[in-house]
Amino acid sequence: MDATKSASDTAAPLVAKASRYRWVILAVCWLAYTLIYLNRTAWSVVAVDASHSIGLSVAQLGIFATAMSIGYVVTNIPGGIVADLIGGRLAVGISLVLAGVLTFAFGTVRNLGVGIAIQVLIGLVSGADVASFTKLLSRWFPPRERGTAFGLYITATAFGSVLANASIPALMARLDWNGVYYLFGVLTVAAGVVCWVLLRNDPPGSAEPAEPGGRLGFAAMLKNRNLMSLAAAGLGMQWATLGFLAWGNSLMVKSLGLSAGKAALVMVIVSTTAIGVKPLVGFMSDRLRGTRKAHLMILSGYFVLILVVFGLVRDYTVLLILAPLLGLGVYGYTVLTNSTVPQYADPRFVGGAFGLANTAWQLGGVFAPIAVGAVFSATGSLFLAFGVLAIGPLLGVLLLIPIREQADRRSDDAAGSSSTVSL
């Protein structure tokens, strides 16, 4: 009896300590993702200065960002499968170290061909990073906490963008654009080492997947109605988000006659809203009754409405007032799409499932700018341009309908509680 009591007394603090470590996992994932997004944003800041030494024309300034995006989209699915096979910790560590070496190498570029090749390679080796983070967070956080965890984690994209614009101009005054890439390359390699040291694939005492991932897992993903519906719906929502981010400034300048500075202020307010909106949406989703599907349908429907309203407004002051409300539509749903993938996927194949879904979502950014540009060029109508954007989340609402999940979230809470105890 004494022995039993002693064992339980010893176990209690160990469980509590292990449970708290999930916040270390979240912090490391957030820091690494912030640095990843800082690297992805860097070119937009240094492009004009770098173009002189590389010999780029104005028309070629965006070619490096496009090259990296192509590589990234191509390896989203393979990268996710790799994360399932070798574990998120190793996958993200390798991804960051290789990306860091290539980022450092990009600082030495002096011609267009080599620069394109390196950027494609950076995209290719980065395919496993976000899928790995998703897999790790899904293993460490129970369902009842995933909205909050993912809401905090995804703020890294906004912080990375803000940090790039705030720090790189000052760094360039000291290091030139080459030095910026040398510095970021070293920091990225260091981040890979930190991930290797501090991340853990699974919490102590957790149930391990019975079988490793593989081709059968990918085939099962394609037959998973919930996952495929979420991927298709997310494509529609990303259609609107990425299309707006690509065209928002130009539409306001060309259609409303705003100065570039005024249009930029509206966009800054919309984007800054993401820092507060994402954690708030995740926190509320964990605590409100109903399914994540229902929450997603509400946010997607709201996105349609605010896009239509924004497209009708012609007064600059009203645009500024509406900008935070548009920010909720542009960014709010992303927390739910990301955190819901692990809920619909086989636990063995979360990395591959996220890679599949994210590939679909990224396609929205490929086609939406083309469609918006074609409509606006033909009509000159701000309302019709925003109407084209609104088609995406409207389809998103419809594409979510086939998803089947329990309407009562208390079962998730119970599962989350038992998972927390097992930590």
Q: Give the tokens for residue 270.
A: 């919309």
Take residue 70 and report the two structure tokens written for it.
């192509």
The model's confidence at residue 181, banded by pLDDT at 50, 70 and 90, is: very high
- The secondary structure of residue 87, as a DSSP letter, is -
Quote the pLDDT of residue 413: 42
- pTM of the predicted model, to two decimals? 0.79
pLDDT at residue number 63: 77
As a whole number, mean pLDDT of residues 360-364 equals 86
Stronger pLDDT, 231 or 260, i.e. the higher one: 231
pLDDT of residue 206: 66
Look-up: residue for tokens 């005024």?
A: 262
pLDDT, greater one: 268 or 106:
106
What's residue 250's pLDDT? Answer: 82
Give the pLDDT of residue 207.
58
Helix axes 2-54, 143-153, angle to 10 degrees: 30
Indicate whether 64 pLDDT > 90: no
Q: What is the pLDDT of residue 410?
A: 39
57 has pLDDT over 50:
yes
- The average pLDDT across 250-254 equals 86
Residue 58: per-residue pLDDT: 61
pLDDT at position 48: 74
CATH code 3.40.50.1980 for 215-417? no
**Has residue 407 got a pLDDT over 60?**
no
Contact 236, 395 (CB under 8 A): yes
pLDDT in the model for residue 337: 93
DSSP string, 30-71: HHHHHHHHHHHHHHHHHHHHHHHHHT--GGGTTHHHHHHHHH
Q: What's the whole-number mean pLDDT along residues 214-232?
A: 80
19-198: CATH topology is Growth Hormone; Chain: A; (1.20.1250)
pLDDT of residue 61: 66
Cα separation, 130 vs 79, whole angstroms: 9
Same fold, 19-198 and 215-417: yes
More confident residue, 20 or 199: 199
- Chain segment 85-122, per-residue pLDDT in tens: 999 999 999 999 999 999 999 999 888 888 889 989 99
422 vs 332 pLDDT, higher one: 332
Q: Which of 3-17, 125-139, 379-393 has the lowest mean pLDDT?
A: 3-17
Judge whether residue 73 has pLDDT over 90: no
The structural domains of the chain, with segments of one domain joined by +, span: 19-198, 215-417
Compute the mean pLDDT over every residue in the chain, rounded to the nearest whole number. 83
Q: What is the pLDDT of residues 113-129, one digit of tens each?
A: 888 899 899 989 988 89
